[in-house]
Every structure is written in structure tokens, then in C-alpha cells.
Structure 1
Amino acid sequence: MAGSIAEEKTFRRFLELFLREMRMPLQESDPPPMRPLSDLVTEDEVEGECLDLCLQHLYKYNCPCSLAAALARATADSLLQTDLSIHLLNKTVEDGADPLPQMESVKLAWLVFNRLFEMCCLWLKELPFRRRPQPYYETSIHAIKNMRRKMEDKHVIIPDFNSLFNIQVEEQAYFAVFDGHGGVDAAVYAANHLHVNLVHQESFNQDPIEALCKAFKVTDEGFVKKAAREHLRCGTTGVVTFLRGRTLYVAWLGDSQVILVRKGQVVELMKPHKPDREDEKLRIEALGGCVIWFGTWRVNGSLSVSRAIGDSEHKPYICGDADHDVFPLDGSEDYLILACDGFWDTVVPDEAVRVVSDHLEENSGDTTMVAHKLVASARDAGSSDNITVIVLNTVCNELKHVWHSIL
């Protein structure tokens, strides 16, 4: 049963409308309502793919975040308890010394959406989900392809991390931006699997920052293997913010960035990985690589970032080791801005703060379109790259309208 009568009514109303709209179950010949961006998945990738398909589909119908997370978890658990071996392709792909069975992503999607439909039917009859009180995370998100041929950015918003992984500890939330290059496959893989890898680390409960860094490494290694199997040549930068109680954990690879604004002032949380950063340049040169100018500073004349998930052909110069930091929160924080380099290359942090302040003043504190305003400011300043911006309302204060305090 939900945490309150009103909330339970909201959840039940959503389930009724959602089931009416879904028109399920799918037949063998029916296309799934959402097609996965990858073609093949291994058994250890099923959990991340399932959670992503469920969340994206439920959010498309404006499902409450906590209910979406709980339904995604229940669907994934149910699917993982079934025998998926009957759906594996007969042909195996060599992964190192061991054959690695795979299944078609479309087949998995078909199974996921039918199982999600079954779960919604069961929950409409008897709602087992009880949402615990949690901080209010008001977010504004906007992402555009801009002048590029393809959109290679991906972002992840998980305000109720505990429900997604059925965790019974203090409240947690996860937000990330991944900026792909050479294709979207690495960004999709990181967006689907890094948070799953995070939870599966032994150090997750005791040392979240160690778990985050290990999750980046495991995700990088997993994608390198996938790229070898499927002949992919791409990579992705990434920045992750993980909130546990009143502590903010940040980990990153490459030049996507996050800033914290406290009492109207920028607090530097990280330093992006650029090839011309002195310590990065020395690391690359010590490995036998070089950093040269070719329109911008590039590793071996190629990539303009020095760390990333993927980019197998450029390793070890482009490494998969994440940097990290930890920040205690005291309630004086205003908001976070996570964005890819398509934003930060044309908008400096102080200018971003000014844009947010002006927008809030002009719109009586309404935050709905603040990310749109930031994206527009980057585009107007000359950015032609993909642009993704997430603005996360005050990370510590649980009051919904705290934005007004910074006007």
C-alpha cells in the first residue's frame, strides 16, 4: 500500500490509464513500444537494459518517479528469475577465451514490456509498494542535437534510487550526463549500466566514492568487450552525482562537468580531463603518447578528451580511471548544474549562474524552463555541439519552493 491514501489513489489512477493505453500483451509479430538502441545484449546486461526500458517508457506516460522505479525493479527481478537461455542466439561470439551467448535486444524488449504489463495488472489489484518519505528533487532538463548530424548525449535521472534497487538505507539519488563521440553506443551503454554496476560493488554501502570509481572502471571494461564483439569505435565522457543523505559524491571522466551553486556563488566540484591539463599531458607522454594542437589540443592528434569510457583503439592514452570528490551538504546549497562540453565550452559557470538568476526573476521563481534557457544561452554563444543540461534544485533542502530564496 502506498505511503498515503492520496498517493495510493494517484498511483492507482496512473496504472488504470497506463494499462488502458498500452494495449498489451504483445504478440510475437508485434514491434515493442520502444526499440532498444543496441542490437545484442549479454545475460549480464539484461538488468540494466530492462530497467532503462521500463523507466523510459513509464516516464513517457508521466509516471510518478517513485512508482516508476518500483515497477522497473519488480519487472527486472521477475524477468531475471526466469530462464532466458531459450532466447539466446545459437551462434556465440568469442569474448576472450570464453564463448559469450547473446540475445537480440528486440526480443528482450518484447519480454520486458509484456512483463511490465503483467506487473501493472497485479499492482492495480493490490498495490504492494510503500514509498518512504524522501527529499524533493526538482529537476529541469533539456537536451538538443543542435547542429550535429546525430544526438550522441544521454542523461540519467533517478531521484528515487532506493526504490529502483530495493535498498533500505538513507535516501539516495543519482544523476548523470554522458557525452558520446564517434557514435552513441558508449553513451547508451554507460547510461544503462553504470548505476547498476555501482550498486553491485562490494564497497557500495561503506564507501560510495570507491564504488563509483570502480563502477566507472567496470563499465569501461564492459563496453570495451562489447565494442570488440560488435566492431564499435566510439567512447563517451561522463559525470555522475550521487546523493546519499546529506553527502554529495561526484565522479567523472572527460569534460562533461557539474557545478554546485551555494548562496549564489559557484563552488568548484571538479576539474575536467582535457589533454592540455598539465598532469594529463604528463601521464599521456609517460605512456609514449603525445598531445598536439589540431584545431584544439588532442591526444595523439585525435581525441580532444584525455579520459573516457570506450575508445579501445586509443587506450591506454585515453584511460577509463575516474576522478572523484566528496562534498558534505549543509542546507545552504541552491542547485547543481550538470552539462556536457557543448554547454561548458561556450558558457562559463558564473555566466550560467547569471542566466539562472535572471530566468527565475523573470518567471517568479518557476524553474520549469530553466534548463531550456541555459541551453539557449549556449547555442546563442556559438555552440554547435550536442547540448544536454540538468538543473537540480537544492540538493539538501527538502522544501519544494526553496528556489524563491535565491531571488
Structure 2
Amino acid sequence: LNEEKTFRRFLELFLREMKMPLQESDPLPMRPLSDLVSEDEVEGECLDLCLQHLYKYNCPCSLAAALARATADSMLQTDLSVHHLSKTVEDGAEPFPLKLARLVFNRLFEMCCLWLKELPFHRRPQPYYETSIHAIKNMRRKMEDKHVIIPDFNTLFNIQDQEEQAFFAVFDGHGGVDAAIYAANHLHVNLVHQESFNHDPGEALYRAFKLTDERFVKKASRENLRCGTTGVVTFLRGRTLYVAWLGDSQVILVRRGQVVELMKPHKPDREDEKQRIEALGGCVIWFGTWRVNGSLSVSRAIGDSEHKPYICGDADHSIFPLDGSEDYLILACDGFWDTVSPDEAVRVVSDHLQENSGDTTMVAHKLVASARDAGSSDNITVIVVFLRDPRSPPPTKMLTLKSVRAYL
């Protein structure tokens, strides 16, 4: 009941704040990345606009997910052809104009009005992973990192028959932020729509990366964009952790205070990557750092169409069963890992938790500051996902039958 009260209170305040519905001449509360949205981008763009807008007003996370889902479903059932641009686009996918954003905000407003009268949504009582996030532009001219946090994945995609799921990602753009924004808006949507999603999330992640890359390359040629992005994604389903990545953004797992390596970043000087690039007729040259064809310092990415196939869009992925002894995950871009080692990161986190009796709020700020103090001038994004309550002592090792036998 308390939760329902909170939700109603939010809806009342939100509707009071919003000057709605938006007329043609009204400015948008938020500018979407692109004025051109193709059919396959509607769901991702719509979810993102709703979530960002609702979070600006401190909407409770599960309510935001449910409202974004309901708004997106309503948009997907609407005939949007009346909003098409008259000019057709070469590859057959016809983009919609900017009007989409105005439609989305007005539809979200209608949803909120309906839900205030009768709230159809009750959150399933499931615990969330506590997270700490911090991202800074640092010394760079522009911020080209994007991150995604979906603690309540099942609500956002209206998934009824699956265990608890959560999705966290960091995308580090280069040559512009468009590829990173695109990946942040669409990769999780592409993941859910994979046939293999229910029975093989690892495979589904691999395919989602590939599809996101293919679609962004098309968009880039339509809109004349020259940029790319690395990405690291962690997807939690029940007691299993799935990791997928492209390029040099990384995630580590900390278990009982020790670092567990989950992945190896894709850099051009990695022997297997170097061989793959050379076999395609490319080269890896030292130019302040090892670079593909003397240009990019990562060997895999979403986008970068002018560097394909040397810079490929094939993600690697791995699977880790969790047993409850895991402390947390740290996802971050290379602006962090280039100056802070995994062991150093763990020291920063444990010092912070000790000094603040387990309070996680500022953990990511501490990590970002330590990378900056160590000389990082790059954009820095850090997400810490706590897999158990840091305020309680770590679980004691369970005596298994096997270990008892060994002991006897």
C-alpha cells in the first residue's frame, strides 16, 4: 500500500509540473539525439525519452519502467505513417521526423493521467541491485561516454515468466557521441527481441551487438556520421551473470574481496586481434599507442564504418554462475582502467565502505576521483553494482558434502 501511495504522489506532482499536452509551437522538454527515427528505432527511442524524462523528476525506478513500457507499447500500436517525412530514403527504411518526440511526451502524459485514476501496476516484490554511478567529461572537450542502468529489466519489457533480470552497460564513444547514444538506446531492445533470448542470453547478447552495429552503420551512412563506440554489458538473470563486450571498456567481478577476471579487452596489440587484422589486409602500427591502420586504438567497435572490417562488430561473451559470495561488479571505460588497476579499484572501494559503514552512495565518485588523480584526462564513467548488501558480513563458505568427505 505504501508503494502505491508513493506512486500516486509521484503522478500527482509530475502532472502538476508538466505543462501538457505539448502544442506544435511548444519547445520539447528534451531534445532527442536525431530528428530522423526509422521504424526499427521507435521502441528504443521511446523508452529512452520516457525514462530520461521521468528520472528528471525522480520517478521511482519500477514505476518509470512500467510507464515507459506502456507508452512504448501504445506508440508501437499507433499508425505512425502520417508522421513520415515525404522524401523516401535509399535503403527502404523510412525515417520519421522530430514529431515522434512530441508524440511520445504527450502519450506519456496521457498514460500518467490514466494511471492516476486507476493504477494498473503493482511491482513484484523483488530486490534490486544497489548501484553507484558517476561519469565525468574530465579534460576532454566533449563527453562521449554513455551508460545504461536497468535494475528492473522485467518491468521495462513486460516479461512475466522469467527470474529477476537486470542490465548494466558502459559505452565509450570516439569521433562523436552518436554511436554511444545509439547503442545505449537500442542494444537492450535488440537483446530482448533475439530468438535465443529466453534460452541462451549469451548468444542473444552477441547477436544484439551485431544487429546494433549493422543498424548504426546504416544510420551513419544516411546521416553522414563518422564515429564508433566500444561497449561492455553485464546482464544478470537469477543467479547467472552474462558478460559481452567490444573494445576496451571493461568489467571486473569482486568475490570475497578478490578480483575475478571476467574478460580480456580488444586492443590492437593483442596477438589474436593483430593476426585477425593482418589477415584481412590491415596493419597495426605504433603511433603513441598501438593503432589499427595507424588510426584507432581499439580493434572492435560498434560503428566506425570507414574502418570495417578491421574494426569488427563481433562481441565476445562469457557466462558466470553466481553462488552468493560475490561482492560487486565494476564496469568502466578505458579512461578509468588505463590509470587504475583492478586491485587498486578494490582497495578504493573497501576503504570507502569501511569509512562510511557500508554506505555505497559515493563509491563511484571515489573511483572516478582516483582515476583522475592518477592522471587520466579522458572521459571517465564508472558503475558499481553490488551483488550483496555491503553492510552485512560476507556469507561464510558453505561446507559441501564433498569438502566434508575430503576433511574426513
Q: Into which bin does the TM-score normalised by the smaller protein fall?
A: over 0.9
- Cα distance in 1, alignment partners of residues 392 and 370 from structure 2: 22
2:390 corresponding residue in structure 1: 402
Compute the displacement of 1:136 (Å): 2.2
Residues 182, 234 of structure 1: 8 Å contact kept: yes
1:62 to 28, 49, 58: 58
1:127 to 103, 113, 119: 119
Compute the displacement of 1:404 (Å): 4.3
- Cα distance in 2, alignment partners of residues 9 and 171 from structure 1: 24
2:369 to 365, 376, 379: 376
2:237 corresponding residue in structure 1: 244
CA RMSD, 1 decimal: 0.9
The 5-angstrom pairing of residues 61-210 of structure 1 reads 61-95=57-91, 99-104=92-97, 106-168=98-160, 169-210=162-203
User: SS in structure 2 opposite 1:33?
Assistant: coil
1:283 to 252, 264, 276: 276
**Amino acid of the structure 2 residue aligned with 1:299:** V
Compute the displacement of 1:135 (Å): 2.6
The more displaced of 249-258 and 37-46 is 37-46
Residue-pair matches, total: 393
**Deviation >2 Å, runs of 4+:** 401-406
TM-score (norm: length of structure 2): 0.95
- Cα distance in 2, alignment partners of residues 49 and 115 from structure 1: 14
1:41 to 37, 49, 65: 37
**Amino acid of the structure 2 residue aligned with 1:405:** P
1:324 corresponding residue in structure 2: 317
Compute the displacement of 1:59 (Å): 1.1
1:347 to 330, 340, 361: 340
User: SS in structure 2 opposite 1:191?
Assistant: helix
- Cα distance in 2, alignment partners of residues 162 and 364 from structure 1: 32
- Cα distance in 1, alignment partners of residues 57 and 111 from structure 2: 16
User: SS in structure 1 opposite 2:385?
Assistant: strand
> CA offsets, 1:248-278, max 9 Å, x none?
0000000000000000000000000000001
- Cα distance in 2, alignment partners of residues 65 and 164 from structure 1: 10
Residues 393, 403 of structure 1: 8 Å contact kept: no
**Amino acid of the structure 2 residue aligned with 1:172:** Q
User: SS in structure 1 opposite 2:170?
Assistant: strand
TM-score (norm: length of structure 1): 0.95
**Unaligned ranges ≥5, structure 2:** 395-408
User: SS in structure 1 opposite 2:163?
Assistant: coil
**Amino acid of the structure 2 residue aligned with 1:133:** P
1:389 corresponding residue in structure 2: 382
User: SS in structure 1 opposite 2:96?
Assistant: strand
Residues 334, 403 of structure 1: 8 Å contact kept: no
- Cα distance in 1, alignment partners of residues 19 and 31 from structure 2: 17
Compute the displacement of 1:364 (Å): 1.8
**Amino acid of the structure 2 residue aligned with 1:90:** S
The 5-angstrom pairing of residues 245-284 of structure 1 reads 245-284=238-277
- Cα distance in 2, alignment partners of residues 142 and 174 from structure 1: 17
User: SS in structure 1 opposite 2:176?
Assistant: coil
1:223 corresponding residue in structure 2: 216
**Unaligned ranges ≥5, structure 1:** none
